[in-house]
Amino acid sequence: MATHTIGLMKEKGNTALQDRKLQDKARFVSKLHPGDIADHLEDMDAEEARKVFNLLDAEIASTVLLELEDQAKQELIERLSDNRLAEVVEEMESDDAADIIAALPSEVAQDVLEKISPEDKEEVEELLRYGEETAGGLMQAEYLAVETHLTAAGAIEKLRQNADSVQHVHNVFAVTSNGHYAGTIHLYELVTAEPNAPIESLVDTGLPAVNVNLDQEEVARLFKRYDLISLPVIEGDGRLVGRITVDDIVDVIEDEASEDIYRMVGLDEDEKVFDPAFASFRKRVPWLLLKLVAVSFAAALVYVHKGTIQQLPIVAAFLPIVGGIGGDAGTQTFTMIIRNLALGTVNLGDTRRMLLKQLFVGMQLGLLVAIVAGGAVYAVERVWGGDPRLSIVLGAALMLNFLIAALAGTLVPLMLVKLKVDPAVASGLFVTFLTDLLGFVFVLGFASAVMSKLVAASSVAAG
């Protein structure tokens, strides 16, 4: 009993000590940039991270939360009370708030929405209506706009009044009296303008505004094309409803690249490196089962030709050479095509030019590899015995398979685009299916032909 009490006291003492430590940690990290605080939280265990996070000022905490890696962010959010979540979300720009709330279980989301200010709630609910990968899904409802009839000094006065409501302002938008987008005013122009200059004279009308429904990849392309810092977003009637800032576009570009990389090898774009193993398993099963079906055709082809292989077992050794190299050549080709489609460097109109180019490259590569591999087999057969004509079987099969790789590697992704399927998703399966299967057809077909001549020759000899 006594021991127990002591134990309890000790525990209390530890808790007080731990609390002090936590407060020290919170005090230490709160002086850092939110991005760096996020780094520190990621290195703590989830419970400690929650405690330190809860000791942070709500405004800093809101930025920290957004800077956390997906995994750590999710773990932390799951541990926060609805009240703390609401406090933190309240401090966020509307687009970030909407992203956080969209990822919450619907009950928690509803509860948090009820706890933030009615104005913020309305903005967030408005944003949640748009598709996640559209301009509307990327935009924030906070922006600064001035009417075109003002002077520079009048506009600056208006900005001063709203100084605290909007962050990260680099451009001001010009709007007509009924709220339609009329152009962009660069802050730098505004600062250096004569106080009496009419706003109209400062407006850049050449910059685009985009519709809320535009796909985020198109939005990213506009940012790159026009070197934009922010982009106004309008409804169908021309009414300005929000803006997209370049920091979100940087994320879009990185996400789209990751998506392409993952899809090319049959990974789900949402798979995270530390997802639970079973979640990763489920996401990878479909591709691998499809692959199993694809290679089964090649396997069946081999089995059908078992007679050839029993008589000329070296032919079985040719198969991984022709399949492996053909697969890599095809993968290189479709990767080149898919990446350039994604970057917008090429489109379907360039099909003929791309195909001719890839066929030429394939021909040259095929010739070289066929000579090297065929020559090696020839040398081996001369030294250790065997039919030197088999070197021609290997060389010819390699040569032809390079042409298949060029054809399939170019046409498969382009056909998928035509069918409005993301070419990154399925090109890998189709192209390697074709190079495997046809590569095997060439090897086994040519080998059978050589063999029937051998048989014919030996029967002539026997006769």
The footprint of a copy of itself on residues 15-34 (CB under 8 A) is: 33
Q: What is the CA radius of gyration of the chain?
A: 32
Check residue 68 for interaction with a copy of itself (CB under 8 A).
Answer: no
Check residue 145 for interaction with a copy of itself (CB under 8 A).
Answer: no
Instruction: Work out which of 176, 213, 332, 351 binds a copy of itself, going by CB under 8 A.
Output: 332
| Cβ-count burial 340-378 (b if 16+ within 10 Å, e if not) | ebbeeebeeeebeebbeebbebbeebbeebbeebbeebb
Which residues, 6+ apart, have CB-to-CB distance to 298 below 8 Å? 323, 436, 437, 440
Which residues, 6+ apart, have CB-to-CB distance to 104 below 8 Å? 77, 85, 112
Question: What mask of x and - would describe binding to a copy of itself in positions 349 to 368, judged by CB under 8 A?
Answer: ----xx--x--xx--xx--x
Decide whether 416 or 437 has the Cβ nearer to a copy of itself. 437
Decide whether 59 or 111 has the Cβ nearer to a copy of itself. 59
Q: Closest Cα to residue 406, out of 349, 455, 458, 363?
A: 363
Instruction: Work out which of 150, 294, 371, 396 binds a copy of itself, going by CB under 8 A.
Output: 294
Check residue 257 for interaction with a copy of itself (CB under 8 A).
Answer: yes
Question: What mask of x and - would describe binding to a copy of itself in positions 386 to 425, judged by CB under 8 A?
Answer: ----------------------------------------
Helix (H, G, I), strand (E, B) or coil at 198: strand
Q: Closest Cα to residue 410, out of 386, 435, 440, 390?
A: 435
d(CA 404, CA 401): 5
d(CA 150, CA 29): 45
Check residue 249 for interaction with a copy of itself (CB under 8 A).
Answer: yes
- 160-166-171-177 Cα dihedral, nearest 10 degrees: -70
Write down the least CB distance from residue 432 to a copy of itself, Å. 7
Check residue 371 for interaction with a copy of itself (CB under 8 A).
Answer: no
Decide whether 288 or 348 has the Cβ nearer to a copy of itself. 288
Run of H or E including 188: helix 187-192
Instruction: Work out which of 55, 169, 197, 371 binds a copy of itself, going by CB under 8 A.
Output: 169
Check residue 75 for interaction with a copy of itself (CB under 8 A).
Answer: no
Instruction: Work out which of 192, 205, 347, 452 binds a copy of itself, going by CB under 8 A.
Output: 192
Helix (H, G, I), strand (E, B) or coil at 145: strand
Decide whether 211 or 340 has the Cβ nearer to a copy of itself. 340
Run of H or E including 140: none
Contacts of a copy of itself in 421-460 (CB under 8 A): 432, 436, 440
Check residue 53 for interaction with a copy of itself (CB under 8 A).
Answer: no
Check residue 196 for interaction with a copy of itself (CB under 8 A).
Answer: no
Check residue 108 for interaction with a copy of itself (CB under 8 A).
Answer: no
Contacts of a copy of itself in 305-324 (CB under 8 A): 306, 309-310, 313-314, 316-321, 323-324
d(CA 39, CA 52): 13
Write down the least CB distance from residue 369 to a copy of itself, Å. 6
Decide whether 121 or 439 has the Cβ nearer to a copy of itself. 439
Number of residues that bind a copy of itself (CB under 8 A): 104
Write down the least CB distance from residue 393 to a copy of itself, Å. 13
Write down the least CB distance from residue 272 to a copy of itself, Å. 8
Check residue 296 for interaction with a copy of itself (CB under 8 A).
Answer: yes
Which of these segments, 9-17, 73-81, 103-111, 325-333, binds a copy of itself (CB under 8 A)? 325-333
Instruction: Assign residue 312 a region (left: φ > 0; alpha: ψ between -120 and 50; beta: otherwise).
Output: beta
- According to DSSP, residue 241 is labeled E
CA end-to-end span of the chain: 106
